[in-house]
Structure 1
Amino acid sequence: MTMPKIMFGGDYNPEQWTEDVWAEDMKLMVETGVSLVSVGIFSWASVEPRPGEYDFGWFDRVMDGLAAAGIGASLATMTASPPPWLARLHPETLPERVDGVRLWPGGRQQYCPSSPIYRGYAGRLVERLAGRYAGHPALRLWHIGNEYGCHVRACYCDVSAADFRDWLRDRYGDLDTLNEAWSTTFWSQRYGDWAEVLPPRTAPTFANPAQKLDFARFSNDAILACYLAERDVVRRHSPDTPVTTNFIGLLHKPIDSYRWAAEQDVVSLDSYPDPYDPRAHAAAALGYDLVRSARGGQPWLLMEQAPSAVNWRVRNAPKGPGVMRLWSWQAVAQGADAVLFFQWRQAVGGAEKFHSAMVPHGGTQTRTHQEIRALGQEIAQVGELAGTRVRADVALVHDWTNWWALESDAHPAVLDLLETVQAHYDPLFDAHVSCDVVPPTADLSGYRLVVVPNLYLMSADVAERLCRYVDGGGHLVVSFFTGIVDECDRAYQGGYPAPLRDLLGLRVDEFWPLPADGTVALELGARRHTGTVWSEWVELAGAEAVATFADGELAGRPAVTRHRYGAGLAWYLATRPEPAMMRAVLDRARAEAGAEPVLPDLPDGVQAVVRHGDDRSYLLLLNHGAEPATVPLPRPAVDLLGERDGSVETVTVAPRGVAVLRS
């Protein structure tokens, strides 16, 4: 999918307003530079007020108004929040928590993903919707559902239990194979009848980890099945119209973004960095690199962000002057071909009435709206960026199945994979290195350096891929507690990490997780550092010790190792080095791999990204710091947002400022 330009707009919910407001909306949208709106996301109850009785007349007028104004519609299938009548008629469609508590109407997403009744009513609505609007001149793309897995990440009801058993039959075939995969000889859990197999509901103590892992896989698939059913309907009616759905957060644990991205024409993301977090831009960058990587570098859509404050945190900070602009351009720099907001007009009532909007309660003279309008004008100046791509020499490996397994119960320590991934990503981000975030099954051959944080669950195939990558000349950095179990969460035998021992040139005899907030001293050359979270008893078997533990039971033993394997190099971190040391280790690994930053010697706080076209490239500079930054350019370039005509050789970027340079 290729956008004709960088699209600009937001969620439009006209059902919240009387029709006399709609004409004003269209006029304001045109003045603000809006080119695309998400529409219909929560319209089910308004277009089907009673089961089987449809009222599309008002929605026809909305779609016609958008078309007349030249504004495209990202048309939602309206199924994200069922009407109350569905729960009244069919309470069995309501989801249940792990403890058996039923979740009722009054919020949104109150449906069991496995419910054939919910899917039937949803499919009937989508059939009517797609048949009516497939050829509408405002239609630009289909928006299936909305924020899948946001509130109901899994359902534990009897309907889901039956669906889970069907899923397990497809996966394992028979109970003997299931029992082997789940290691059910432990704690007398062996199953003799499929009816005995249940979701991992609240139990007296730790649930079977393999059962929990498969239920996470199943829950992702059950939600995906809802998406696929609706997608197939709209594709049948309008096969040439692209299809998307919006992922939420930076990395959303219940939904395997890689698996879902393969079923979309373009990936979309809702991003809400916290203005109170001084590193919010780095956390956002990780999510942007992942969604861009999920479809092989294809441009993606920023489907939602807040113009200013959200409503759902304990403390909801507004975005200071310039922050909304800066963070919008950051998404574009990292591959977004659309900048959209939630929502167009701030709600008068409901749970999100204090969530900021493009048109706030205070109207068009507010700071927020004026900044939105100015951004719309800027975005319109750089349409040529659309379709260009970011290239990366470094990849960071992330895997959803590993995430589900790593954060299960009864491990040597409680590990937070998202925190771990961020700790490995930040040194690359701060070094101004473009990075893809890829699954372990990705083709790694095009990367100079691959970083693998805590890949606890590792198939034999993935281990073989990593070995081939390094043997062929690749450079690899692996962190602790990697390569420990197979796909069924069964420990590999023969010493940790069994599938990677030859590659890494070492053996881990024992895990020594650190106390909560504990540290361990490290020696790297003549310098002292600290490690956190974890330590291990490492026996070298060909690797060299680059850093050692400097105190405690492991004093003098290897903490960071380096091993030549074939034509490449493999590093191993037996602890989490403090940020300065992590940066030093990754800088050395990068240098040896030949993975260079976008620009050398950038001032602190400045982010640099290049988007490449067929015959032109675009350097985007974003100043996340508090001081102006002057950046010498590697070659003369045209400043697309600047006031100077012709080419420039240096550019000064104000705090929270942006420069877009074509060369």
Structure 2
Amino acid sequence: TDTRVFQDVQVLGSTLEKLTPVSETTIRAPVAVIYDFENEWALNHAQLPRSIGKNYQETCRQHYRPFWQQGIAVDIINAEADFSGYRLVIAPMLYMLTPGLAERIEVYVKGGGTFVTTYLSGLVNEFDLVFLNGYPPSLRRTLGLYSEEMDTLTDHQLGQLRVCPENPLNLNGDYEFHHYAELVHPETAQILATYNSEFYAGYPVLTANSYGSGQAYFIAARTENRFLTDFYTHLAKCMGIENPLHQPIPAGLSIQVRANETQRFAFIMNFTDHAISMEIGEGWHDTLTKLPSAASISVPPYDVVIMRQTL
């Protein structure tokens, strides 16, 4: 009983006893990222102009990371899930469209949802057979564009893209892209950014299409992470999606908030080797000590602080 491991387990057991009310709460995520096993299997076996470094899992993580950094909860779902409970659904590299999927995306966007997809999407059906006329009609209507061809870049080759001035997301600046660059033709979609290099300079690389009561965005190239961070940060701001604490999240911290009708719990985790301070606002209590908390707290290195607030 005097070993470090025994004492750590003893403290953990004591902590879990104090967290019993947390079991009556849940996380309500406004955002979902589609990571689909069947899509991954089909994509992994696809013979593409560039078949090395498709990086489906890594790409999904890259689209998830900006929300994690902002403290915005995200559900990871498969392509058969119900989209209706989410304000924003992101489908990176949705290569395979199973029966009814394109139609469900169309219904979701028409009903007021926001949908984001990327290059290498909507190419084959459930039998891994290419759609002969390009995107299925429902996806083409939703995105407001059609794809002409795909260019691929060598491992160390970088292209440039430029954001259009006065775009509705207030993006600005130049960014790099690599590996994949799709050439698309907008029909009803608005161009937000264009390629600024290669033979397709001037072609759209980021578009937005208003459709029904919602919007669909298309990212035509594999961009650097900085672009994804800026794009999703501005998109979340325009949609009014923010973390439940309504506070900036310092780098190195991660938060998750669980709630029910009467109370909520904030799990604030430090993934660095140094203490980090954060503003959390008024009305919080430390769940373990039950003492009132200051509006600013310090989270020790590699530790978690669990706060409770009565609603």
Q: Normalised by the size of structure 2, how large is the TM-score? A: 0.89
Residues 449 and 595 in structure 1, CA contact (< 8 A), matched pair in contact too: no
Q: 1:398 and 2:39 equivalent?
A: no
146, 150, 160: which is aligned to 1:521? 160
CA deviations over 1:576-609 (Å, ceiling 9, x no partner): 2211110111122222333222333121111111
Matches of 2:85 and 2:238, distance apart in 1 = 16
**TM-superposed deviation, 1:444:** 1.3
Q: C-alpha separation between the residues in 2 aligned to 1:389 and 1:519? A: 43
Bigger-Rg structure (1/2): 1
Distance in 2 of aligned mates of 1:569 and 1:409: 30
The answer on whether the counterparts of 2:67 and 2:74 sit within 8 Å (CA) in structure 1 is yes
8 Å CA contact 1:396, 1:438 repeated in 2: yes
The one-letter code matched in structure 2 to 1:390 is: I
* Superposed counterparts of 1:191-590, under 5 Å: 365-366=3-4, 368-414=5-51, 415-496=54-135, 499-525=138-164, 526-590=172-236
Q: What is the alpha-carbon distance in structure 2 between the residues aligned to residue 399 and residue 417 of structure 1?
A: 10
Residue 498 (structure 1) shift: 5.3
Residue 497 of structure 1 contacts residue 508 of structure 1 at CA under 8 Å; is this kept in 2?
Answer: no
Q: Secondary structure at the match of 2:45?
A: coil
* Deviation for aligned residue 1:633: 2.1
1:613 deviates by 3.0
Select between 398-407 and 377-386 the one with higher mean Cα deviation.
377-386
Q: In structure 2, what is the equivalent of residue 218 of structure 1? A: none
Q: Which one of 555, 580, 593 corresponds to residue 239 of structure 2? A: 593
The SS at the match of 1:429 is helix
Helix, strand or coil for the counterpart of 1:646? coil
- The CA distance in 1 between the partners of 2:233 and 2:280, in whole Å, is 23
Alpha-carbon distance between aligned partners in 1 of 2:136 and 2:69, rounded to the nearest angstrom:
30
Give the drift of 1:647: 4.6
In structure 2, the residue corresponding to 1:407 is in which secondary structure?
helix
Structure 1 residue 657 displacement after superposition = 2.3
**Per-residue CA shift, 1:435-466, capped at 9, x if unaligned?**
11112222212211111111111024110111
Pick closer, same or farther for the CA change 1:602–1:488 going to 2, 3 Å: same
Structure 1 residues 611 and 556: alpha-carbon distance in aligned structure 2, compared to 1, 3 A threshold: same
Contact 1:492/1:498, CA 8 A, preserved across alignment: no
Partners of 2:278 and 2:227 in 1: CA distance? 27
Q: Deviations over 1:14-49 (max 9, x none)?
A: xxxxxxxxxxxxxx6xxxxxxxxxxxxxxxxxxxxx
Q: CA deviation at 1:543?
A: 1.1
Secondary structure at the counterpart of residue 592 of structure 1? helix
Aligned match of 1:249: none
**Distance in 2, Cα, partners of 1:511 & 1:413:** 10
Write the distance in 2 (CA, Å) between the matches of 1:488 and 1:603: 46
Identical positions, percent: 29
Determine if the alignment matches structure 1 residue 606 to structure 2 residue 253: yes
Equivalence for 2:168: none
The 3-state SS of whatever aligns with 1:389 is: coil
CA positional deviation for 1:617: 0.9
1:630 is matched with which residue? 277
Q: Residues 140-179 of structure 1 correspond to what in structure 2 (within 5 A)?
A: none
Secondary structure of the residue aligned to 2:206 is: strand
Structure 1, unmatched stretches of 5+, are 1-27, 29-363
Change (3 A) 1:659 1:571: same
Task: Look up the match of 1:357.
Answer: none
SS of the aligned residue for 1:455 comes to coil
Letter in 1 for 2:115: L
2:274 match: secondary structure: coil
Question: C-alpha separation between the residues in 1 aligned to 2:66 and 2:24?
Answer: 28
Q: 2:288 aligns with which of 641, 651, 654?
A: 641
Q: Deviations over 1:355-378 (max 9, x none)?
A: xxxxxxxxx635x55434433332
User: Letter of the aligned partner of 1:546 in structure 2?
Assistant: L
> 1:539 is paired with a residue of what secondary structure?
strand
SS in structure 2 at match of 1:402:
helix
Report the TM-score, using the length of structure 1 for normalisation. Answer: 0.43
Secondary structure of 1:386's match?
helix
C-alpha distance in 1 between matches for 2:80 and 2:70: 26
Of structures 1 and 2, the one scoring higher in RCO (CA 8 A, sep 6+) is 2
Which residue matches 1:144? none
CA–CA distance in structure 1, aligned partners of residues 215 and 151 of structure 2: 26
User: Which structure has greater strand proportion?
Assistant: 2
Q: Is the 8 A contact 1:455 1:482 kept in 2?
A: yes
Tell me: CA distance 1:597–1:381, structure 2 relative to 1, closer, same or farther (3 Å).
same
2:169 maps to: none
How many residues of Structure 1 are paired with residues of Structure 2 in the alignment?
A: 299
Residues 484 and 498 of structure 1 are in contact (CA less than 8 Å); yes or no, is this contact kept in structure 2? no
Following TM superposition, by how much is the alpha carbon of 1:387 offset from its aligned partner in structure 2, in angstroms?
3.6
Query: Which has the larger share of helix?
Result: 1
Counterpart secondary structure, 1:470: helix
CA distance in 1, matches of 2:231, 2:136: 21
